[in-house]
Structure 1
């Protein structure tokens, strides 16, 4: 199906609301660093605040996402975004407050709206026909990559050109606008929890664990590409200034990849696509670390950006196949927490390895960890597929056995 099917008023309204909700998330880590950089030990404090913010996101996504009722999602989304807006505003208005106070508000700013990503994605797929879901998820990815590419420049320009508190105040205003904009969208999406067949939400979500693991592996690779690149360039004797253009090219390639993915139907199940593409993604990142030539590093990162978007889209489609409709928003939230944890873990690992080895070694160690996680995910997915096939075959082979004793609703026997 063409992308033209998405050009409807509800989808365009969703795009505006989602932009207002996600720009603050994209700005937050850098904005927190720039807010306190002029204080004593400012950069260390800023990094700590950014880390606390990410931890808040992970905790909020895991705890709030599964509690979101599909039919009444607007209330939960509005509450989370509204509290997030207040927390961003508090941090922006109190730049000289005690670090503990700033940390508490930063954690709240991360946690409160953390379920919005999954909720808004589930809402988007309910606004389009089933045959247009792939295009809708591709369009969402394009929007996300564009926002994440623009956010650093917007944050830096406001912080250095106007005031260090301005990015966080803008984040508060945008998140408040997103809260109000929810009333231009449906209150939720239809989902009956009987599709879980009596299984608890926790067990339903746990059954999709291979998808979460593959997502964590993919974002771990992204952390390597972003965070180790300046040190890698310096190791190779290449000007560190190339890091900016290379990462911009990575983001553009990711947006292009998301667009291309939605243009046609690709062979294989999304689960298989994700597994194959994740290995190819890892190979491109490893190539950029192993070959000390700027052109090869650039080609490796461009290819990695293209493949990364395909991996993420295949992962989202796999999650739709693995979970019933009533658990999708919660699944997206848990997946968001998993990829955030993967990013943070990879960033920590790369820092530890760089303290004792070269940046290229750190990248290759991260790639090795990614491949281990990819293998675990593949084995888990195959076992899950076999269990689903076995249950289906057993259900189909059970003979029909009418009850020997009529129920009260059956009426009198003949």
Structure 2
């Protein structure tokens, strides 16, 4: 994995210049709003079940099914988008997703509730992968595109801070059903803002050459990259459960939210720093640097720190997360077949999601072993770094003009 299509100089740009470029603020803002349901729906589903007299176990099951269905369906939606464009995929998906969220409070049947949340998860619009496919046409300048990608990646952590807080406020003010209504409306509004933007309407997947095939998606470089990202996800999933265990150990419920928030804040600020300029080294070298920093950032947890040092410790690996994800998208764009780029982006997203689910499940089984639980995030990060180091570099030339864009 040694892509060479990224600037390696210390060229600078400003966030104002990037956000002032045509369509950038609209696409970025619309995608963030449209993806707020990712941070809101799982929490709102749990609160709906428990508020209406259901068990926390069932609420957690529904929440997990929603997230799992959304993650597992990403590659399918990405491939459909590569074949049929963004409007024909994300538009109907957003409508089905919002309809499912609105329907959930109307049923009292557990079986129907399961079907609704699975449908809602399957239909979650693939806005993240879609946005990554738009950047080359919206920002032809690689320096500005680098900044936009870092800003895009870094702000994702805000979804998982703002979303749950908004659900809690709406639930306190009225009922979890109101939170689901707002979640559905935000999902539709954000998706509509993106899909009605000229770049999204004009975007077309790379045309398959006459008599040709879209090309095989997976090669060794992509496979190894995605396996490494599973390790990154394991670290994040383990961290979330470790935060709950910390809260229980110290009798401070707030820690369960503060520690993930510190991690997400680190990701946001790290993204701002990373996107402020381009950095020396190839994307692969930068990816390895980020993976090494990510691993080192988790090592202080092995000392079982008290809440304040633990919060500071959670900030550090978060600061390297944006570098990892941004460069992973760059490498994916270089190694994937031109006609299947969006699908490849979706597999990248799925890899992290699968790792998070595995990390959370494993951490749950380690909850009674504090030292082992605290070591799990570092273990996931070590897996990611080891896979990247073992992957033999394979030079793949940049392929400009991967998509056709009709004005």
Same fold (TM over 0.5): yes
Q: Which among 90, 103, 111 is matched to residue 100 of structure 1?
A: 111
Mapping of residues 356-367 of structure 1, within 5 Å: 357-367=368-378
Measure the CA separation in 2 of the matches of 1:196 and 1:243: 55
Instruction: Using the TM superposition, name which of 183-192 and 330-339 deviates more.
Output: 183-192
The Cα RMSD (Å) is 2.6
Mapping of residues 15-414 of structure 1, within 5 Å: 15-69=28-82, 72-92=85-105, 94=106, 96-131=107-142, 132-181=144-193, 182-186=195-199, 187-194=201-208, 198=212, 200-204=214-218, 208-232=222-246, 234-235=248-249, 237=250, 239-354=252-367, 357-380=368-391, 382=392, 385=394
**How far is the alpha carbon of 1:276 from its aligned partner?**
3.0
| Runs of 5+ consecutive residues of structure 1 not aligned to the other structure | 390-414
Measure the CA separation in 1 of the matches of 2:44 and 2:388: 35
Contact 1:6 1:128 in 2 (8 A): no
Pair 220,185 (structure 1): closer, same or farther in 2 beyond 3 Å: farther
**How far is the alpha carbon of 1:194 from its aligned partner?**
4.8
Contact 1:350 1:366 in 2 (8 A): no
**How far is the alpha carbon of 1:78 from its aligned partner?**
0.8
- Equivalences, count: 381
Measure the CA separation in 2 of the matches of 1:90 and 1:206: 43
**How far is the alpha carbon of 1:84 from its aligned partner?**
1.1
**How far is the alpha carbon of 1:190 from its aligned partner?**
4.7
Measure the CA separation in 2 of the matches of 1:221 and 1:254: 14
Contact 1:80 1:116 in 2 (8 A): no
**How far is the alpha carbon of 1:256 from its aligned partner?**
0.7
Secondary structure class of the residue paired with 2:346:
helix
- Which of the pair has the greater relative contact order for Cα pairs under 8 Å at 6+ separation? 2
Contact 1:60 1:115 in 2 (8 A): no
**How far is the alpha carbon of 1:50 from its aligned partner?**
0.9
Contact 2:239 2:377 in 1 (8 A): no
**How far is the alpha carbon of 1:349 from its aligned partner?**
0.5
The structure in which a higher percent of residues are helix is: 1
**How far is the alpha carbon of 1:200 from its aligned partner?**
4.2
TM-score between the two structures when normalised by the length of structure 1: 0.84
Contact 1:135 1:262 in 2 (8 A): yes
| Runs of 5+ consecutive residues of structure 2 not aligned to the other structure | 1-12, 398-407
Contact 1:134 1:317 in 2 (8 A): no
- When Rg is computed on C-alpha atoms for both structures, the one with the higher figure is 1
**How far is the alpha carbon of 1:179 from its aligned partner?**
4.0
Contact 1:73 1:188 in 2 (8 A): no
TM-score between the two structures when normalised by the length of structure 2: 0.85
Measure the CA separation in 2 of the matches of 1:196 and 1:220: 42
Deviation per CA, 1:169-205, whole angstroms, max 9, x where unpaired? 1111122223433123332435434589956455357
